[in-house]
Amino acid sequence: MILCGRRCRPLFFVTSGNRQLVMNENLRIVSVSLMAPPYTTLHYRLPEWLPEEMWCAGLRVAVPLGARGTLRAGVIAACGCAPDTVPQGVELKAVLWPLEFVPLLGEEYLEMVRQLAVRQMVPPGQILGMLLPAGLRSAGVRLRVRAGGRPRTLRLRDIAKMADSERHVLASHWSAGRVEVLEPETDEAENDICHVTADPPWPVRPAARRQTEVLEYLWENGPVSRRRMLHDLGTGAQTPLLTLAERGLVHVGPLDAEQAEVCGCGIDSACHTEAFENQLFELTDAQQAALRACTDAVESDSAETRLLFGITGSGKTAVYLELARACLEKGLSVMLLAPEVALACKLYRDVQLRFPGLPAVLYHGYQSAHEREQQFLNLAAQAREGRPVLIAGTRSALFLPVASLGAVVLDEEHDASFKQDERLSYQAKEVAWFRVAQSKGALVLGSATPDVKTFHAVREGHMPGIVLSERVGGGTLPAVELVNIKDNAVKETILAPQTLTRIKETVTRGEQAVILLNRRGYAPLMYCLDCGSVARCPECEIGLTYHKGRERLVCHYCGHSVPFPSPCAKCRGVHYLPMGEGTEKLEETLSTMLPHGKKVLRLDRDSTRRPGRMEQILAAFAREESSILVGTQMLSKGHHFPSVTLAVVADGDIGLNMPDYRATERTFQLLVQAAGRAGRGERPGSVIIQTRDPAHYCWDYIRNCDYEGFFEKELEARRKRRYPPFVKLALIRLSYPMDWPQGQDRVNALASAVRASGRELGVSVLGPAPAPLPVLRGRRRFQCLLKASDWKTIRMLFHAARQGVPASSRLRLSLDLDPVNML
């Protein structure tokens, strides 16, 4: 007999003889959350052919749905449901078959799912559908039965057609351990990953339109499964894909080892030894103190949060690593999370170097569906056995099953990418807090430039702060200098003459420089000289960016692109003038200006689209194969290059004018981080910030690296204008297709309803006004800014608003709590 190991909680206990029956009856009703549409949670009868003890919450099961009995995979949400919770007059269907012997998910995991569901106002099944890897939510499994003669393979459909007597026989085999659950038939199209193997321009004839389309698609979307590509481009893309694969321009198949290893840092074994020895240092006194404060938080009887506020280069990583080891030694799991894949890999590598042999797992989004599934299953098994693990990863690693979580570390906690907007919207900090609260663990937030809300919480006494105020090894923070580029005389580049001189001096001395320009592509605007118009995206009405290597104009919001040059959409003219400068152009300009033999590398979304490229570029720069690294905000984060003595911010004003209440905070964080790249070795560093607005108040704080001064100023501004942390902020986003004539009327009608319920509930409602990006992917967009004292009233208001819009309406609305992306 198979026991599930965990008792299901009956809803009530009754003892008298007569009512005992009622209880047994109750125990045979379960609720199941479907992991595929319609995602509802439905009641089912337990079938009599399997023993009662094997069913319990968290077990994955197959259930029939609707009149036709279509099979769906679901998770038992609760056992022993009272019959009065079942709608009257409904005859319950029976669960068809379990999909596993022991439940995949534990009670704590289910509780997290329920909480997310409440918060997102979607059914728990939909949350499970988003969190579990595809193979684990499929009803496509088969059973292999080994009982006398040759093994038989059964599909669930076959079981559905069986007579009860046959099911009883199967059940006896199941209980005797003679049945094996086979994974869903591996779908090659799902496991084949496609990606381009070379940077554009590609050697493809202009007439081969379909091939170009495939290449452009893969370039824009990065590595994707063949299934997704065929879904997006249509099955007609199969032939050009194969042609491109034959020509070696596209890779189709599992990612090969070198590429799958996103950590393939390219360090050869000599470097490896050096890197290893570099990790053998002892913690400084300040680091020791910080570590103790963190381990105390782990050991305390309640869940705790700590802010590790340490300047750039103060050695926060070593504190995280020692904390992780301390947790594992106590039998507790730990998660080290970074805002992006490359940084997560770096954390993972640091763990391996410092503590070879520690049970560490790297979790990132480049794995195939099959690998993700295996990882989830392995971790679930280890969690059941209570074995602790260390997980290094990005935000989605938070949803892996682990046993007794001792600590979660969010490095660079201020980073916007800890908030996910697509599909399932969540803030990693909240999920992390929820998870450590369950296990009474510790949440450690680390940053040199904490989120204003986090620091406010420290100031208010809600969470202790730990300070690391010096660079390890006594390195000093770089000197910061402003360069006014308002009247820049040099027209071919954004770099002022004195900035250029400093760059040249630096590389001539044999040192390195990083140059931040947070704008990718060659030129952000393309003017038609014949009619004076700017090339715009037909779907978004936004100016198209010129990408020279790709020979295309590209919309940075929806990915739409057109070959360049092609005739002007307005006047059919063919004379163009590119305006402004992006990273691609800056790289080109600098290469022509540098002393002979000095090279430039570029790090942005375009140069890192192919798997493994980012690591190659960073490694090449670390090996000093180039003197200059030009890049977008990607290069400001976390990387450690000891030979960099100059950091240049080419356009300090880019972020300041964004329509976002955090524009200054973001700029401050980005620039302090970027400045932190300089002078991390023995030689002192310096920083140049170019701006057209040298009088802006934020420069002084950046120059003095005065986080707290900046914080005070910013907080005052937010208090005055009623922004977080003083209110709860949310956005209702509305959109409708551009060609829908009734759209505007519907928005107006909804607006008055929302404002009315806002008055009733005490929520202040701004708008709806056109969004800063008023058109995106062919839809007109509006947004309503909500301010309230708690989240609940905001949810109530949204619920009321949603009630007024029929499901069939072409008006889409969604709620974004604490929005990070205000566009």
- Residue 377 touches which member of ligand ADP, Zn ion, none, C-beta under 5-8 Å by kind: none
Is residue 540 a known part of a binding site? Answer: yes
Rule CB under 5 A: is residue 526 a binding residue for Zn ion?
A: no
| Nearest distance in Å: CB 303, ligand ADP | 25
| Nearest distance in Å: CB 373, ligand ADP | 33
| Nearest distance in Å: CB 640, ligand ADP | 5
CB burial of 528-543 (b: ≥16 within 10 Å; e: otherwise) equals beeeeeebbbebbebb
Rule CB under 6 A: is residue 643 a binding residue for ligand ADP?
A: no
539 and 555 Cβ atoms separated by less than 8 Å = yes
Cβ atoms within 10 Å of 287's Cβ, excluding its own:
20
- Residue 466 touches which member of ligand ADP, Zn ion, none, C-beta under 5-8 Å by kind: none
User: What HEC string does 564-584 produce?
Assistant: CCCCCCCCCCCCEEEECCCHH
d(CA 563, CA 553) in angstroms, rounded, equals 6
- Residue 650 touches which member of Zn ion, ligand ADP, none, C-beta under 5-8 Å by kind: none
| Identity of residue 589 | T
Determine the distance from the C-alpha atom of residue 407 to the mean position of all C-alpha atoms in its chain, rounded to a whole number.
20
Rule CB under 6 A: is residue 276 a binding residue for ligand ADP?
A: no
d(CA 63, CA 51) in angstroms, rounded, equals 17
- Report how many residues bind Zn ion under the rule CB under 5 A: 7
- Residue 281 touches which member of ligand ADP, Zn ion, none, C-beta under 5-8 Å by kind: ligand ADP
| Nearest distance in Å: CB 477, ligand ADP | 11
| Nearest distance in Å: CB 244, ligand ADP | 41
Q: State residue 278 phi and psi, 5-degree precision.
A: -60, -25
Consecutive H or E run containing 749: helix 743-761
Question: Residue written as tokens 């375009």?
Answer: 606
- Residue 537 touches which member of Zn ion, ligand ADP, none, C-beta under 5-8 Å by kind: Zn ion
- Residue 809 touches which member of ligand ADP, Zn ion, none, C-beta under 5-8 Å by kind: none
Among the residue ranges 316-324, 329-337, 368-376, 494-502, the one whose residues contact ligand ADP (CB under 6 A): 316-324
Q: How many CA atoms lie within 13 A of 629 on its CB side?
A: 34
When binding is defined by CB under 6 A, the residue of 278, 288, 501, 657 that contacts ligand ADP is: 278
Rule CB under 6 A: is residue 339 a binding residue for ligand ADP?
A: no
3-state secondary structure of 106: coil
Rule CB under 5 A: is residue 540 a binding residue for Zn ion?
A: yes
- Residue 472 touches which member of Zn ion, ligand ADP, none, C-beta under 5-8 Å by kind: ligand ADP
d(CA 231, CA 226) in angstroms, rounded, equals 8
Rule CB under 6 A: is residue 768 a binding residue for ligand ADP?
A: no
d(CA 425, CA 127) in angstroms, rounded, equals 10
3-state secondary structure of 5: coil
| Nearest distance in Å: CB 115, ligand ADP | 31
Rule CB under 6 A: is residue 313 a binding residue for ligand ADP?
A: yes
Rule CB under 5 A: is residue 537 a binding residue for Zn ion?
A: yes
When binding is defined by CB under 5 A, the residue of 107, 158, 470, 539 that contacts Zn ion is: 539
Among the residue ranges 69-77, 454-462, 536-544, 679-687, the one whose residues contact Zn ion (CB under 5 A): 536-544
Closer to Zn ion by CB, 457 or 555: give it.
555
| Nearest distance in Å: CB 612, ligand ADP | 22
| Nearest distance in Å: CB 229, Zn ion | 20
User: What HEC string does 604-626 produce?
Assistant: CCCCCCCCCHHHHHHHHHHCCCC
Rule CB under 6 A: is residue 733 a binding residue for ligand ADP?
A: no
356 and 425 Cβ atoms separated by less than 8 Å = no
Rule CB under 6 A: is residue 317 a binding residue for ligand ADP?
A: yes
| Nearest distance in Å: CB 468, ligand ADP | 7
Rule CB under 6 A: is residue 12 a binding residue for ligand ADP?
A: no
Is residue 558 a known part of a binding site? Answer: yes
| Nearest distance in Å: CB 649, ligand ADP | 18
Is residue 537 a known part of a binding site? Answer: yes
Is residue 294 a known part of a binding site? Answer: no
Number of helices (H) and strands (E), helices first, in the chain? 25, 35
Query: What is the dihedral sign for C-alpha 451, 454, 460, 466?
Result: negative
Closer to ligand ADP by CB, 315 or 758: give it.
315
Instruction: Report which of 550, 522, 518 is spatially closest to residue 220, judged by C-alpha positions.
Output: 550
Closer to ligand ADP by CB, 512 or 607: give it.
512
d(CA 680, CA 314) in angstroms, rounded, equals 10
Closer to ligand ADP by CB, 287 or 367: give it.
287
Rule CB under 6 A: is residue 284 a binding residue for ligand ADP?
A: yes
When binding is defined by CB under 6 A, the residue of 287, 333, 636, 757 that contacts ligand ADP is: 287
Rule CB under 6 A: is residue 290 a binding residue for ligand ADP?
A: no
793 and 815 Cβ atoms separated by less than 8 Å = no
| Identity of residue 597 | G
- Residues 6 or more apart whose CB falls under 8 angstroms from that of 53 comprise 1, 2, 3, 4
| Nearest distance in Å: CB 559, Zn ion | 7
Among the residue ranges 245-253, 311-319, 530-538, 795-803, the one whose residues contact ligand ADP (CB under 6 A): 311-319
146 and 159 Cβ atoms separated by less than 8 Å = no
| Identity of residue 199 | D
Q: What is the DSSP string of 507-531?
A: HHTT-EEEEE----SSBSEEEETTT
| Nearest distance in Å: CB 278, ligand ADP | 6
d(CA 786, CA 645) in angstroms, rounded, equals 45
d(CA 47, CA 173) in angstroms, rounded, equals 16
Is residue 4 a known part of a binding site? Answer: no
Rule CB under 6 A: is residue 312 a binding residue for ligand ADP?
A: yes
Rule CB under 5 A: is residue 544 a binding residue for Zn ion?
A: no
| Identity of residue 241 | L
Determine the distance from the C-alpha atom of residue 653 to the mean position of all C-alpha atoms in its chain, rounded to a whole number.
27
- Report how many residues bind ligand ADP under the rule CB under 6 A: 15
Is residue 528 a known part of a binding site? Answer: yes
d(CA 738, CA 777) in angstroms, rounded, equals 9
Rule CB under 6 A: is residue 685 a binding residue for ligand ADP?
A: no
| Nearest distance in Å: CB 466, ligand ADP | 12
Is residue 194 a known part of a binding site? Answer: no
Q: Report the chain's C-alpha Rg in angstroms.
A: 29
Rule CB under 6 A: is residue 472 a binding residue for ligand ADP?
A: yes
d(CA 323, CA 340) in angstroms, rounded, equals 21
- Residue 417 touches which member of ligand ADP, Zn ion, none, C-beta under 5-8 Å by kind: none
| Nearest distance in Å: CB 537, Zn ion | 3
d(CA 367, CA 364) in angstroms, rounded, equals 7
Q: Which residues between 551 and 580 bind Zn ion (CB under 5 A)?
A: 555, 557-558, 560
Is residue 568 a known part of a binding site? Answer: yes
Instruction: Report which of 304, 311, 310 is spatially closest to residue 289, judged by C-alpha positions.
Output: 310
d(CA 286, CA 281) in angstroms, rounded, equals 14
d(CA 602, CA 587) in angstroms, rounded, equals 7
d(CA 652, CA 691) in angstroms, rounded, equals 5
- Residue 626 touches which member of Zn ion, ligand ADP, none, C-beta under 5-8 Å by kind: none
- Residue 314 touches which member of ligand ADP, Zn ion, none, C-beta under 5-8 Å by kind: ligand ADP
Please tell me the chain's helix, strand, coil percentages from 3-state DSSP, rounded to the nearest 5: 35, 20, 40
Binding site for Zn ion (CB under 5 A): 537, 539-540, 555, 557-558, 560
Instruction: Please state the residue numbers annotated as binding site for Zn(2+).
Output: 528, 531, 537, 540, 555, 558, 568, 571
Q: Which residues are annotated as a binding site?
A: 528, 531, 537, 540, 555, 558, 568, 571
Binding site for ligand ADP (CB under 6 A): 278, 281, 283-284, 287, 310, 312-318, 472, 640
